[in-house]
Amino acid sequence: MSSALDQIFVHAKRWLLSWVAVAPSWVIQIASSLINIVAVLAVFLTLFALISVMERKILARMQNRYGPNRVGPFGLFQPVADGIKMLIKEDIVPARADKVVHFLAPVILAAVAILTLGVIPYGRNMTPFTIDGGILFFFAVGSTTELAVFMAGWASNNKFSMLGAMRAIAQMFSYELPLIIAVLPVVMVVGSLMPDRIVAAQGEYTLGIVPRWFVFTPWGFTAFLLFFISGLVESNRTPFDVPEGESEIVAGHMTEYSGFKYATFFMAEYLGMFAVSGLAVTMFLGGWHAPVRVLEVVPSYVWFFLKLSALLFVYIWLRATLPRIRVDQMMNVAWKFILPMAFTCVIAAAVWHYAGRGLRGWLWSLFVIVVVYSALSILLDTRRKFAPRVYRFAE
């Protein structure tokens, strides 16, 4: 029963494909891909609508107010109203803007975000796009985001847009490196770039209770935190929303966008957030595996989306509580702290592997991480060095 429920979507797809079973193989191939694409789009656009209203609700709760509660029960139809509003708004393109590039930028951004969602395993046998180097695909396609943001900023022909695009590219480049290096220990320990294998490697239980998720090893935990912070920066979310910075540069690279193009930017940001969180779940939180063996009766995709929502809740929580970080501080942290710590995770994972992957390895890798962390904290201590800020170029 549980396995039937677990595989219900796989069976549904097989049943749909049986309709074209007599067709030549390339028709079946295309039909199979189309089903996967439609499924990913349907699930994540629904999740986007849901999350946009949940985010406003949670933010409101944390700020002691009601939030949207007029449209539908508990304001649940708010995204529908928002969507209609965005669709019927006038689409303004500046006269001096580069029309084609201005139009293409949000399209590419959304397309990239959707592509990266394709390689994540959502449940047992439920990876939309199985590829040998899935993790590499994720980052390769994701690195195109920078170009799209640049296109948006440049084509708008507006100084705020350009400044925002510059900021976005600077921060995305700086944090892409730690993002990738934080993933490296997992790839190294599993010995594969395939998301399905990485999930499979975390499927066992120590003593039958504690799941062998990588987040429960010292290097995995550190790498997970680093990955989460870098992912937060990559998706331009609040403590790191410097590129948008409403109070400084209007809306950054989105200044000259209105109506549905703006909504597309908004959607791309959320889809990117889902993709990074999905990858974090896959790499560190055991993917679609249940936390306890007894609970494996619950279908695998339920576990995946539960973990995903937990991460998304943390995203929203951070947005409600943290102020925006200054640009130079953000860059300093990236290069002086997060990057060395990410490299330390790689070394600690190697120590863990060669010390036998047991308790001994656990303690040794903890030792490595604590030593480097303390050394970095002493080296980067700025308490005694507070002085008036020196402006080099703006005097």
Partner 1 sequence: MNSIAFLVISVLTLAAALAAATLRNLMHAALCLPLVLVGVASFFFLLGAEFVGLALVFIYVGAVAVLIVFTILLTRRGVEKDPGFHWMGVIIALAVFGGLTWSILQTHSLSIVPPHIRALTVRKIGETLMTGYVWPLQCVGLLLTAALIGALVLVMEEKR
Dihedral pair phi/psi, residue 377, rounded to 5°: -65, -40
Provide the minimum distance between the beta carbon of 2 and partner 1 in the complex, in angstroms, as a whole number. Answer: 33
What is the rounded distance in angstroms from the CA atom of residue 244 to the CA atom of residue 253?
7
User: Closer to partner 1 at the Cβ: 86 or 162?
Assistant: 162
Rg of the chain over Cα atoms, rounded to whole angstroms, equals: 23
Of 1-9, 139-147, 221-229, 365-373, the segment contacting partner 1 by CB under 8 A is 139-147
User: Closer to partner 1 at the Cβ: 90 or 395?
Assistant: 395
Q: Does 259 bind partner 1 (CB under 8 A)?
A: no
Q: Does 132 bind partner 1 (CB under 8 A)?
A: yes
Provide the minimum distance between the beta carbon of 101 and partner 1 in the complex, in angstroms, as a whole number. Answer: 7
Q: Which of the residues 29 through 48 are near partner 1 (CB under 8 A)?
A: 29
3-state secondary structure 71-116: CCHHHCCHHHHHHHHHHHCCCCCCCCCCHHHHHHHHHHHHHHHHHH
What is the rounded distance in angstroms from the CA atom of residue 134 to the CA atom of residue 114?
14
Binding partner 1 (rule: CB under 8 A), the pick from 32, 143, 309, 332 is: 143
| Cβ-count burial 330-368 (b if 16+ within 10 Å, e if not) | bbebbeebbbbbbbbbbebbbbbeeeeeeeebbebbbeb
What is the rounded distance in angstroms from the CA atom of residue 97 to the CA atom of residue 94?
5
Opening angle at CA 108, ends 107 and 113, nearest 5: 100
Would you give the binding string for partner 1 spanning residues 355-394, x where CB under 8 A is met?
-------------------------------------x--
What is the rounded distance in angstroms from the CA atom of residue 160 to the CA atom of residue 166?
10
H/E stretch holding 10: helix 8-17
User: Closer to partner 1 at the Cβ: 98 or 296?
Assistant: 98
Dihedral pair phi/psi, residue 210, rounded to 5°: -80, 120
Q: Does 130 bind partner 1 (CB under 8 A)?
A: no
Would you give the binding string for partner 1 spanning residues 169-208, x where CB under 8 A is met?
x---x-----------------xxx---------------
Helix (H, G, I), strand (E, B) or coil at 26: helix
Binding partner 1 (rule: CB under 8 A), the pick from 43, 107, 131, 250 is: 131
Q: Does 270 bind partner 1 (CB under 8 A)?
A: no
In sign, the C-alpha dihedral spanning 99, 138, 52, 178 is negative
Cβ pair 113, 268 in contact under 8 A:
yes
User: Closer to partner 1 at the Cβ: 27 or 359?
Assistant: 27
Q: Does 10 bind partner 1 (CB under 8 A)?
A: no
Of 3-11, 135-143, 213-221, 318-326, the segment contacting partner 1 by CB under 8 A is 135-143
Q: Does 318 bind partner 1 (CB under 8 A)?
A: no
Helix (H, G, I), strand (E, B) or coil at 206: strand
Of 31-39, 61-69, 127-135, 307-315, the segment contacting partner 1 by CB under 8 A is 127-135
What is the rounded distance in angstroms from the CA atom of residue 256 to the CA atom of residue 265?
12
Q: Does 120 bind partner 1 (CB under 8 A)?
A: no
Provide the minimum distance between the beta carbon of 149 and partner 1 in the complex, in angstroms, as a whole number. Answer: 10
User: Closer to partner 1 at the Cβ: 7 or 161?
Assistant: 161
**β-sheet bridge partners, residue 210:** 206
Of 149-157, 235-243, 271-279, 298-306, the segment contacting partner 1 by CB under 8 A is 149-157
Binding partner 1 (rule: CB under 8 A), the pick from 83, 133, 259, 291 is: 133
Of 132-140, 230-238, 247-255, 313-321, the segment contacting partner 1 by CB under 8 A is 132-140
- Applying CB under 8 A, which residues contact partner 1? 26, 29, 98, 101, 131-133, 136-137, 139-141, 143-144, 146-147, 150-151, 154, 169, 173, 191-193, 392
